[in-house]
Amino acid sequence: MREKSPSPWAVSAIVIVLLAAAVAMPLRAQSLPPSSLRYAGSPSGEYKLTIDASATGVKATLTRLVMPNETLWQSALPEALDPARFFVSETGTVTVLGDWGSADTDFAVMILRSDGSVLRQYTFSDIATTMHSSGSEFDAEAVFGIWAPDSAVVDNGIVFLPLNGISLRLDTDTGFLSPIQTGSIP
C-alpha cells in the first residue's frame, strides 16, 4: 500500500504559516521592553521597596522583612512619575525622585507613608522656590536625565540632595522641604 504524500499546496501553506510565526515572534518580543526591577532598603534592612517598571507602567511594592515577610502596600505610581532615585527610611517612609522627564508634572518628589498614602509631593517649581532659585541647578543635571545627583545622602530619615553648593533637605517623616548649606550635611 502506497502512502499519499501531501499536496504541494498544503506544504506551501505550512511553510508560509511557520515562516510568518518565526518572523512575528521576535517582532512581538521587541515591541514590549522587559520589566525592570530595582530595589532599595531601609538602613536596618527592615523594609524593602521594589520598583517594577515595564511597558504597562511603574509599580511600587513596600515589604516589611520580618518573619514572615509582610507586603505593606503595592501600588501603581502616577504615570508622570518616572522614579530615578528612591529611598526608604527606618520607619518605612518612601521618598521617590522623578527624573527630568517629570519636569512638567506634579511629581519631582513624592513622599509616601509606610501605608502607601501620599505624605507630600512637590513639583520642580516648588523645589526651585524652596531653594530661592530659578531652577538652573536642575538644568545642569538634566543632561543626564536626573535633576538630583547620585551623591544624595540619607541620614535618620532626612534626604540631602546637593545642588551647586546648596542642598535640598527632605524630611521623610514630615515631608518638610528646606534648603541647607552643602557643608552642613552630616
Q: What's the rounded Cα separation, in Å, for the pair 17 and 1?
A: 31
Cα-based distances in Å from 131 to 22, 126, 163: 56, 9, 9
Which residue, among 63, 85, 90, has the nearest Cα to 157 in the 3D structure?
Answer: 90
Single pTM value for the model: 0.71
Topology of the domain comprising 36-184: Methylamine Dehydrogenase; Chain H (2.130.10)
Q: Which residues pair with 97 in a beta bridge?
A: 85, 109
What is the residue extent of each domain of the chain? 36-184
Separation in Å, CA 9 to CA 3, 4, 12, 16, 17: 18, 14, 5, 11, 12
Q: Categorize the per-residue pLDDT at 20 as very low, low, confident or very high, splitting at 50, 70 and 90.
A: very low
pLDDT in tens, 154-184: 888 888 887 767 788 889 889 999 888 766 5
User: Percent of the chain having pLDDT more than 90?
Assistant: 17
The cell numbers describing 26, all together, are: 521576535
Convert the pLDDT of each residue in 56-109 to its tens digit.
788 899 999 988 889 999 998 876 566 778 889 999 999 888 776 656 667 788
